Structure 1
């Protein structure tokens, strides 16, 4: 199985060497490695050029965002399948071999993904998803698998056919959050997704949160409106419609939670009473009650809800 690897790069000089070396050390070799430098202002591109004699290709462009960088890499890729790796994440040695095994077991699947773990300030934590019951299998409901669990797919744990990506129009360059989830969702409505629970990727939260503003979470991630487009265009299979709507609801509730934890009660209240994608359930009811509690109690209450889930 030939796999092109695309790494979008923007001001991640501190981590890019680690990402590239993790690809070069794969037991199943990548057909090519493409790093798309999206107008970095640090020395990241210079560090990438050190690997040119090992087959790493550097493409440079003016800053246009991660979606534009990924799309540029997809266009340049020569293989039938493309694996993505964020510049601040890295793979364990078996990632591409697990992907190749999934491709052999489930040839009808055009999106393949593995398990992953989070790197935090206190160590590594394996992502958990109780919707995925088998060690390997076909994901029956991508949208349900995103509910009340760690996401089943991240942008560093996935490999997808180039044809499928092009068929759905690639990554939406207008989206600033959730752009990858919008792509996986559109593909999930059209093609099977095969997964392995083998933990083969490290999602570095200590790197990903550097410089990230909490303001990004005051409003629900805009990718949920991409889900609405799928519903409006009647692309979502009937058996997945209820899961899509529930995931939209939970995404709005996640933003409400963030506002409550930041003490932004007015914004949380506005979302609670007026957002059109919300349903009535225990989470929404509990959020109204949390509006009355001191901020210090909010986090404890959310932890209690999480433990009972």
Structure 2
């Protein structure tokens, strides 16, 4: 390990709204990091009513707390990032955890890959108790192991079991995720990354115009500026709970499909050639639309199904691709007619 003075600084942003019952574990998982470089933590209280800001300030005086009116996740994350001048930025939600080696391993990989401006660890989904519904999304056709949302959550009784666990390696070496891979869906979990602060601002921050899936929109923009280097170790632990967004079939891919025109518009302003190639390649759109349709069926959301159907002729230009989509949708309808009861919204 290099001397502390020579190690890059890391800034961590934790957005929270009424998360006083869980944020303590998240903060502790940052404080237990083995990383020897300077780490700054900013908690952005997004209009909470449970006293989380006072609780954090009282228990962890070194953590900076910023309170804002209820504004949503993208605004909260952007506000926190604006307060930091560190070399790297990280974002972690107020109920997720890091393995003690998380920052150390990511920074080590950044030294090994000098041109890397974004690095993302592997993700483990966990719950503190068994879940009755563990539906997951199918694997995306992207490099590397199965993405986090494709893996049923593990039952881990408490945070100490994470702190004392060995680091799990998913592969032998890092790999690249390019923009074309993100067009198929989001292959990474927000909270697993470190991103160069200048790269964050160059990408425009988290898009506040998106009503949902703002992290997907952000990583799409980031990936246009260069690849995301996925690292072999799974050191980010995302908490899932019954009926939560991350427990549902595919983390709201129905909403993501509804925002695809906006995302393509954002790409178009940055790199028209990338968009032209994407539109000419039906496979990413076919995958995204099918996943959106599956999500809408599983969660019994007819409006999302209608939005998805409306996007089909716009994004699938040739009838064989449309036929494949309609066939897949028909199979999914048959499956979910006999599926378990509806998953309640969280």
User: In the alignment, which of 175, 178, 185 is matched to residue 213 of structure 2?
Assistant: 178
**Counterparts of 1:103 and 1:240, CA distance in 2:** 32
Query: Partner of 1:302 in structure 2?
Result: none
Query: Partner of 1:132 in structure 2?
Result: 144
Matched, 1:5 2:12: yes
Query: Partner of 1:15 in structure 2?
Result: 22
Query: Partner of 1:285 in structure 2?
Result: 327
Which whole-Å deviations, capped at 9, do the CAs of 1:28-72 have from their partners, x for residues lacking one?
A: 05521110111111132122113433x211111111111111111
List aligned pairs for 1:35-114, cutoff 5 A: 35-53=43-61, 55-114=62-121
8 Å CA contact retained: 2:120, 2:193: yes
Give how far 1:256 is off: 1.3
Q: 1:239 to 1:105 in 2, by over 3 A?
A: farther
Give how far 1:138 is off: 4.0
User: In the alignment, which of 288, 291, 311 is matched to residue 254 of structure 1?
Assistant: 291
Matched, 1:204 2:204: no
Give how far 1:205 is off: 1.3
Structure 1 vs Structure 2 CA RMSD: 3.5
8 Å CA contact retained: 1:26, 1:95: yes
Deviates more, 1:253-262 or 1:59-68: 253-262
**Counterparts of 2:173 and 2:273, CA distance in 1:** 23
**Counterparts of 2:50 and 2:248, CA distance in 1:** 20
8 Å CA contact retained: 1:272, 1:284: no
**Counterparts of 2:18 and 2:253, CA distance in 1:** 22
Query: Partner of 1:167 in structure 2?
Result: 202
Q: 1:65 to 1:106 in 2, by over 3 A?
A: same
Which whole-Å deviations, capped at 9, do the CAs of 1:245-285 have from their partners, x for residues lacking one?
A: 64344333222112222445686366336542344364541
SS of 2:330's equivalent in the other structure is: helix
Deviates more, 1:137-146 or 1:7-16: 137-146
8 Å CA contact retained: 1:230, 1:236: no
Note the residue ranges of structure 2 that are not aligned, 5 or more in a row. 1-7, 146-170, 341-346
Q: 1:272 to 1:288 in 2, by over 3 A?
A: farther
